[in-house]
Amino acid sequence: MTSLGPISTGVGAGNTAALSVALISEHASPLAVLGGVDAGGQNVHVARLAGALADRGHSVTVYTRRDARDLPDRVPLRAGVEVHHVPAGPPEQIPKDELLPHMLAFGRYLAREWQVRPPDLVHSHFWMSGLAALHATRELRLPLLHTYHALGTVKRRHQRRADTSPPARIACEREVGLGCDRIVATCRDEVAELGRMGIPADKVSVVPCGVDTGEFTPYGPVADRDSAYRHRLIQLGRLVPRKGAAVSIGALAALPDTELLIVGGPTADRLDDDPEVRRLRGIAQDAGVADRVRFMGGVPSEDVAPLLRTADVVLCPGDYEPFGIVPLEAMACGKPVVASGVGGQLDTVADPATGRLVPPGDPEALAHAVGELLADPALREACGEAGRRRVLSRYGWARVAAATESVYCEVLAPQPAVTGAL
Using only C-alpha atoms, what is the Rg of the chain?
Answer: 22
Question: How many other CB atoms sit within 10 Å of the CB of residue 198?
Answer: 9
Q: In this predicted structure, what is the pLDDT of residue 6? A: 32
Neighbours of 205 (CB within 10 A): 22
Give yes or no: residues 283 and 354 share one domain: yes
> What's the burial of 374, exposed, middle or buried (CB within 10 Å: 0-12/13-18/19+)?
buried
| 339 and 403 share one domain | no
User: Considering the domain boundaries, does residue 120 fall inside one?
Assistant: yes
381 is in which domain, residue-wise?
231-394
* Whole-number Å distance between alpha carbons of 59 and 55: 9
pTM equals 0.88
Residue 388 has pLDDT above 70, yes or no: yes
What tens digit of pLDDT does each residue of 6-51 get? 333 333 444 578 999 999 999 888 876 444 444 467 888 999 999 9
Q: What does the pLDDT read at residue 37?
A: 45
Do 387 and 405 lie in one domain? The reply is no
Q: In the predicted model, is pLDDT for residue 55 greater than 80?
A: yes
Q: Are residues 321 and 380 in the same domain?
A: yes
Calculated CA dihedral for residues 322, 367, 158, 299, nearest 10 degrees: -50
401: enclosing H helix or E strand: helix 397-412
What CATH number should be reported for the domain holding residue 245? 3.40.50.2000
| pLDDT exceeds cutoff 90 at 245 | yes
Q: What is the pLDDT of residues 343-364, one digit of tens each?
A: 999 999 999 999 999 999 999 9
201 and 269 in a single domain? The answer is no
Residue 82 domain-assigned (yes or no):
yes
Mean pLDDT throughout 281-308? 95
Amino acid type, 300: P
In contact, 383 and 373? CB cutoff 8 Å: yes
Q: Are the C-beta atoms of residues 402 and 409 closer than 8 Å to each other?
A: no
pLDDT tens across 93-133, in order?
999 889 999 999 999 999 999 999 999 999 999 999 999 99
For residue 2, what pLDDT is reported? 45
In a domain, 220, yes or no: no
Q: What domain count does the chain have?
A: 2
Q: Nearest 5°: phi and psi at 186? A: -100, -10
By CB neighbour count within 10 A (0-12 exposed, 13-18 middle, 19+ buried), where does 214 fall?
exposed
Instruction: List b or e across 280-292, with b for residues whose CB sees 16 or more CB atoms inside 10 angstroms.
Output: bbebbeebebeeb
Domain match, 253 and 165 both: no
Residues 250 and 345 in one domain: yes
> Is 222 among the domain residues?
no
For residue 341, the model assigns a pLDDT of 97
Residues 389 and 403 in one domain: no
Q: Is residue 421 part of a domain?
A: no
pLDDT above 70 for 88? yes
pLDDT confidence band for 1 (50 / 70 / 90): low
User: Rounded to whole angstroms, what are the CA distances from 220 to 217, 303, 307, 354?
Assistant: 7, 11, 11, 21
List, for residues 369-380, the tens digit of each pLDDT value. 999 999 999 999
Asked if 184 and 260 sit in the same domain, the reply is no
Verify that 281 and 348 share a domain, yes or no.
Answer: yes
In a domain, residue 134? The reply is yes
Q: Per the domain annotation, does 98 fall within a domain?
A: yes
Helices (H), 147-201: 152-159, 169-179, 188-196
As a whole number, the mean pLDDT across the chain is 91
Whether 255 and 176 share a structural domain: no
pLDDT of residue 416: 59
Task: Judge if 195 and 239 occupy the same domain.
Answer: no
Residue 417 lies in a domain: no
What pLDDT, on a 0 to 100 scale, did the predictor assign at position 12? Answer: 41
Which class for 341: exposed (0-12), middle (13-18), buried (19 or more C-beta within 10 A)?
Answer: middle
Task: Confirm if 298 and 264 have CB atoms less than 8 A apart.
Answer: yes
Contact in structure between 330 and 46 (CB atoms under 8 Å): no
